[in-house]
Amino acid sequence: MSDNRSLEIARKLVGLGKDKEAAKAYKVALNEGIEGDSAAELEAALWNLQFGTDYKVSYTVLHKLHCAGLFQDETFSIMTEAFYTPNIKELQSHYERNCKLLKKYPYFFHEDFVPFEELPVRFYPYDDSSYIPYFANENRFGELIDFKEPVIRHHFFHDLENPILAKDIFSQYELEYLCDNVRDSTYVAKENHIYLHYTNWEEFCSYLQCLNLRALLESKKFVFLIDDEIGEYPIDFNKRFGIDYSKFALKPIGIREVSRLIWHTQLSTHNGGDFFNEIFDNHPNLIVMPSLMFDNVAETMSKVRKIIDQIKSTQDITGAIADWDPRYVRELYLMKNRTERDFLVAFFLNDKRATVGLDYASRISPALFFQPHFSNIEYMAELDMKGRAALVSNQYDEVMASPIFRNFKYIKTFTPMRRMTTSHAATVRFMNGMAKDSWVNPREDGKHSVVGDAVTERIMNRSFMLDPHERLYKDSVLVRFEDGKLNPKATFTALAAFLDLPYTESLTYCSEYGERDPITPGNAVGFGTEALYRTYDEFANDAERCLIEYFMRDAYEYYGYDFHYYNGEDVGMERMKELIAGCTTINKYIRDTYRPVLMEEAKDGHTLKPGKNPEESVEILLDEAEERMNSERLRIFEVLQNGLNFVNRAGQPLHMMPKLELDPALLEQPLYH
C-alpha cells in the first residue's frame, strides 16, 4: 500500500466516523513515511495520539517536526500536554528524593540544590527508562536518551594505577556498571572509590529527575565532585575520614563479583579466532580460556547444577566435584537463585589455566572472556512477503536462548572477520583433512566426516549482521583479522578501549595459558602475517570466490575489503548459472569425501542401482546429488538476487555490526584492503 493510499484511507475512515480504524490507517501511513508533507504528518500524529494504541509513533513524529523547525508552537504544546504535564509530580518527587539522599551522603560535598521549577532541562518521558530532554532557554528538544541502554560508551578502566575518575556520567546503566565492577576498597586493601566529576551543577541537578541513586549510594563507593571540587581528587580517606584501608586483608574474587562477559563470537570457521584468544590470554583483568565447544559447556553447566542441587549440607562439599576447589563449591551451594552464569564463572575461576595472568589485587573485578565454538555456523534464508531474506540459524537461536548469556548483566561483544574468500578456502582445506582423518581415526559416533557445500554456507553466513534490538549485540564491534596482524598496536589499543580493559603488555604478544607463542598446526605463530596472503588455490577456484564476493559485496564495501575476483559486473541468471557450474573445486571435494561413505554402504547392499556394479552405482548417486545441490544453490541465489536486504524473523531490518576504527597515528602499516 502506498503512503498516499494509506493517508487517503485514513481520511475516508475519519469521514465515516470510524476513529479507531482511522488511527490504524494513520499509523500505517506514518510508519511507511509521508514524505515531504509535514502537515499530513502532524495530522496523522494527532489522530493516532488521540485514538490509536501506540503513542510512540506520534511522539516520534512530533519530536521530529519540532527539531526540524516545523509547527514548533503546536508540537511543543501537544508534547507538553500529552507527555510532560501528566508526569510532573512524579519527576519532581524523584528529583527531591535524590536530593534528600545526596544531602545525607558522606561523600557528596555540594549544597543548594536548584529548585525543581528552575531546572534548565525538562525531561519528557518516552517509556520507563527513556526521555527526551527539552532545553527551555534554547527552545530545543535534544535526542532520545535511554538511561538504561545496555551500552558502555566510556573507557573507564584505561588506568588502574589510580582510583577511577569519570566525567559527566548520566547513564544509569554505566553508573551501575561502575558500582558492580569496581571492587570495594575493603576488598583490595587500598583507597578505591569511584570519583564522579560533574562539570555543571545545574545540569547535574536536572538529571536527578531521571536517575535512581538509592541502590548506588548504599555501596558508598562513589565520591561526587562538582565543578572545581575536582581539585580534591584523590581524597586521602585516612586523613579526612579516619579510614585506613591498608589494614584490611585482600579478599578473593567472588563468583558474583564477575558480572561482565566479553563474548568473542564465532563469525565463521577459520576466521582468526585462535589469534584473538591468544592475544587476550594472560590479561591481568580477564578470566580467559581458548574456545570451548558450546554444547560441551552447556552440558557441563547442567551437570554442575545437578551436583550442587543434590548437596544436602556443607559436610558434603569437599570432593563433591572432582578437581574443584571446595571454596567455589561452597559458594555455589550457599548462593540463592543460582543461574548457569554462576556455574560458568565458577567453572572458569576453578581452572588455574584460566586465571594464570589474573591480578587479584586489581581495582576492578575481572571480566569473563568466552568464545563458545560451533563445529559450523549455518544460516538459511526464507523469503518474506516483501521479498526480503529472513535469516534463520539454529546456532544463533541456541546462543540467544542460552541462560548462560542471558544472566550476565554486562556484555561486550566483538567479532573477528577475515577476508571471506580466504577463510572459505581454509575451511575447505580443514574439512577435507577432517574427512581423511575420520577414516584413519574413526569418530566416536562411528560416522565419517565429509565436505559440505561450503560455498553456499559461506554466502549465507551473515552473522556479522545484527538485530539492533537484541541485547547480546547492543554493545558490539567487528574487528578485522588482517588489522590485528598488520597493525597490532592500533588494533588492540582500540579493542581494549571498546572492551573497557587497560591496554597491557599481555596484548602485545600471543600466549595460551600464559605460555608465549603457542604452536598450533596450520596457524601462524604470533604476529606472523603469512596467513594473510595464503589463497589456498587447491581448495577454491575463481568461480567460487567470485560468487562469495558478489553476494558479500555489501560487506566487502562496509568493512574495507577490495574485490579480487568479482569485477563489479551485473550478474544475471545466465551468468549465475555459469558460476554455479564453475563450482568444480568444492564439488570435487564433496564427491571425494562422500564416495567412500557410499561405497561402504554399497558393499553392505545399500544404495545400489539395479543392474549396476557398486562403482557405477555410487557415481550415479553422486551425479544426482550434485544436480540437486546445484538446483538448491540456484534457488537460494535467486532469493538473494532480489537484493541484499536481510531481516529477522519479525521482519525487522538487520544492520552491519559496527567496524572497529583504528587511530591513524598508531598505524604501523597501511590498512589492509
Cell of 45: 500524529
Query: What per-residue confidence (pLDDT) applies to 445?
Result: 72
Query: What per-residue confidence (pLDDT) applies to 605?
Result: 63
Amino acid, res. 351: D
For 528-554, what is the mean pLDDT? Answer: 93
Range in 25-39, 48-62, 131-145, 341-355 with the lowest mean pLDDT: 25-39
Residue 471's Cβ-count burial label (10 Å; 0-12, 13-18, 19+) is middle
How many contiguous H segments (helices) and E segments (strands) does the chain have?
Answer: 27, 21
pLDDT, tens digit (0-9, with 9 covering 90-100), for 303-333 = 999 999 999 998 889 889 988 999 999 999 9
Containing 122, the helix (H) or strand (E) segment is strand 121-125
- 115: pLDDT strictly greater than 70: yes
- Quote the longest CA-to-CA distance of the chain: 99
Q: Quickly count: other Cβ atoms within 10 Å of residue 84's Cβ.
A: 18
Cell of 90: 512524579
Residue with cell 589474573: 358
Q: Collapsing DSSP states into helix, strand and coil, what is residue 94?
A: helix
For 624-638, what is the mean pLDDT? Answer: 93
Classify each residue of 555-572 as buried b or exposed e, where b means 16 or more C-beta atoms within 10 Å of its C-beta: bbebbebebebbeeeebe
- 182: pLDDT strictly greater than 90: yes
Q: How far apart are CA 297 and CA 300, in angstroms?
A: 5
In this structure, are residues 418 and 534 in contact, taking their beta carbons and an 8 Å threshold? no
Amino acid, res. 644: L
Q: How far apart are CA 499 and CA 414, in angstroms?
A: 8
For 237-247, what is the mean pLDDT? Answer: 96
Range in 104-118, 269-283, 436-450, 635-649 with the lowest mean pLDDT: 436-450
Q: How far apart are CA 393 and CA 637, in angstroms?
A: 17
Query: What per-residue confidence (pLDDT) applies to 606?
Result: 64
Percent composition of the chain: helix, strand, coil (DSSP 3-state, to 5)? 50, 10, 40
Q: Collapsing DSSP states into helix, strand and coil, what is residue 518?
A: coil
Query: What per-residue confidence (pLDDT) applies to 1?
Result: 38
pLDDT band at 2 (very low <50, low <70, confident <90, very high): very low
Greater confidence (635 vs 607) lies with: 635
Sign of CA dihedral 333, 334, 338, 341: negative
Q: How far apart are CA 610 and CA 471, in angstroms?
A: 56
Between β-strands 145-146 and 165-167, what pairing exists: parallel, antiparallel or unpaired?
unpaired
Q: What is the 3-state secondary structure (H, E, C) of 292-359?
A: EEHHHHHHHHHHHHHHHHHCCCHHHCCCCCCCCCHHHHHHHHHCCCCCHHHHHHHHHHHCCCCCCCCC
Say what the pTM is.
0.92
- 444: pLDDT strictly greater than 80: no
Q: How far apart are CA 323 and CA 353, in angstroms?
A: 13
Amino acid, res. 3: D
Containing 45, the helix (H) or strand (E) segment is helix 38-51
Residues 6+ apart with CB under 8 A from 359: 284, 285
Query: What per-residue confidence (pLDDT) applies to 345?
Result: 96
CA dihedral (251, 253, 256, 260) in degrees, to 10, reads 130
Cell of 548: 562469495
Q: How far apart are CA 300 and CA 164, in angstroms?
A: 37
In this structure, are residues 166 and 149 in contact, taking their beta carbons and an 8 Å threshold? no
Q: How far apart are CA 576 and CA 635, in angstroms?
A: 11
